[in-house]
Amino acid sequence: MPTAISWLRRDLRLADNTTLGAALSRAEQVIPVFVLDPTLLERYAGTKRLAFLLAGLRQLDADLRARGSRLIVRRGDPADEIARLVRESGASFVFAEEDYEPYAQERDDAVATRAPLERVGSPIVRPPSVVLKSDGDPYVVFTPFSRKWKSLPPPRASELVPTPERIRTPRGIDSLCIPEEPQLPSGVAFPAGEAEAQHRLDAFVRGDEPPIYAYETARDRLDLDATSQLSPYLRFGMLSARQTIVAAYQAIDRADNEKSRRSAETWLDELIWREFYMCILYYFPEVLEVSFREKMRGIAWRNDEASFDAWCEGKTGYPVVDAAMRQLVQSGWIHNRGRMVVASFLVKDLLVDWRWGEAFFMQHLVDGDPAANNGGWQWTAGTGADAAPYFRIFNPISQGKKHDPNGSYVRRWVPELVGVPNAYIHTPWTMSLMQQRESGCILGVDYPPPIVDHAVMRERTLQAYRAAREAYARGKS
């Protein structure tokens, strides 16, 4: 009786699971397995993300048991554990979804030398080898990448792999218990699992007035729940990229006016950005260590630790920055606009190396993904592929006023400012002492004054970036 191993990694679901579908098509018995890899757990698993992962494994195990199967859990070097499982079970096949991160490529190559590994499917709709220039080179600018991506046939609902009704898994296979999740902060509001992921997708794209049709105009509002908040589920494959993109195309087709259609297309573009960054990491793995743009590798960072600590703790004196940083630490997630604002502040107001911020995000983000996190940080820093111009520096005051006009987002996450009037909520230091007393927020006592002057720091940062570019040009001449 042929037996196959379905090695699950970033595809913790039953619907549209290419790995599981391949195993079921080739064998009568299938062993779903997840390997707790100490290297990945140490490198990438912050407490919140680890808790989300473990809760997701527990839910996946329950879903498998409802179909006559169960999740086999092992811990150790994947090459050792998969080879051992092949010997124990007599499996003829091992199927795993492709993974484009540098460590994952090395890991899978090592497994393939010791087990009959077949890599099928992809965590993105268009694998890196598909979206290339006519000369075979990868794209490093998003717009032509997106144009090429969209020129290919869109995925259809009929292509989604159906959820299996029954999975026959042999008895007697040893498995560890799924570890108990670490205690999560009360602010983390992401229930793990495929059912929750599908519910969120449905709520965003379907119904009488789905949020996707207001996405273009509302997506940057920090004070509104106008985004899908699907990123943690995509990170661990509790929802497939293909499911989300099929849903996006369906929403585009259902749109009954141009505004709704543009909004759905804007959300599709955001999904394509995820694919773009994964392709960048695949072809340029060095971006995890250095700036993508060589001319930006010589920036003289200030790297003041006290300023960095104030940023981490949400005590910079700039309300929208502090609100976003406290949201990150307490909830494990930040609105994308908030991510750009705090990243710009760290890099271009404090002149702290973007890698410090990237690492801090990975410690706290439930959706922390090396490709997307790195891509986002380098975009804001002006050092990455198709990055924002180096002279684009977000003003934390105007960003707050524009994207949190009534201050409700700031008041939610920075309770010291709850009594501050709207006119001062993004500039509390401009209140008179009497106004501070009336609002219950004394600057320097209840809430810090700004740790830097934005206008002054902007000029200093521009000078540092120009100096790096000029030094690079001299070295090339």
Give the mean pLDDT of 157-180: 95
Q: How far apart, in Å, do the first and last CA atoms of the chain sit?
A: 68
Name residue 95's beta-bridge partners: 6, 118
Say whether pLDDT at 185 is over 70: no
State the pLDDT confidence band at 390, using cuts at 50, 70 and 90.
Answer: confident
Say whether pLDDT at 162 is over 80: yes
**Domain regions of the chain by residue span:** 3-121, 194-283, 294-470
Q: Nearest Cα to 275, choosing from 151, 142, 380, 391?
A: 142
Give the mean pLDDT of 151-167: 97
The pair of three-digit structure tokens given for residue 153, joined into one six-digit string: 């046939």
Would you please indicate which residues are annotated as catalytic (active-site) residues? Answer: 270, 273, 301, 336, 354, 377
Q: What are the tens digits of pLDDT across the range 257-299?
A: 999 999 999 999 999 999 999 999 999 999 999 999 999 999 9
Name residue 32's beta-bridge partners: 6
Segment (H or E) for 443: none
Q: What are the tens digits of pLDDT across the range 280-290?
A: 999 999 999 99
Spatial separation of the C-alpha atoms in residues 289 and 301, rounded to whole Å = 15
Q: What are the tens digits of pLDDT across the range 38-77?
A: 999 887 678 899 999 999 999 999 999 999 999 999 999 9
**Domain 294-470 grouped into CATH 1.10.579.10:** yes
Q: Nearest Cα to 269, choosing from 283, 252, 284, 281?
A: 252
Q: What are the tens digits of pLDDT across the range 338-363?
A: 999 999 999 999 999 999 999 999 99
Tokens 């999560």 belong to 184
Please give the CATH architecture assigned to the domain spanning 3-121: 3-Layer(aba) Sandwich (3.40)
**What is the model's pLDDT at position 14?**
98
Mean pLDDT of the chain: 96
Spatial separation of the C-alpha atoms in residues 440 and 446, rounded to whole Å = 8
**Residue 237: what are its φ and ψ, rounded to 5°?**
70, 30
- Model pTM score: 0.95
Q: What are the tens digits of pLDDT across the range 30-45?
A: 999 999 999 998 876 7
**Domain 194-283 grouped into CATH 3.30.300.30:** no
Domain 3-121 and domain 294-470 have a common topology? no
**What is the model's pLDDT at position 186?**
67
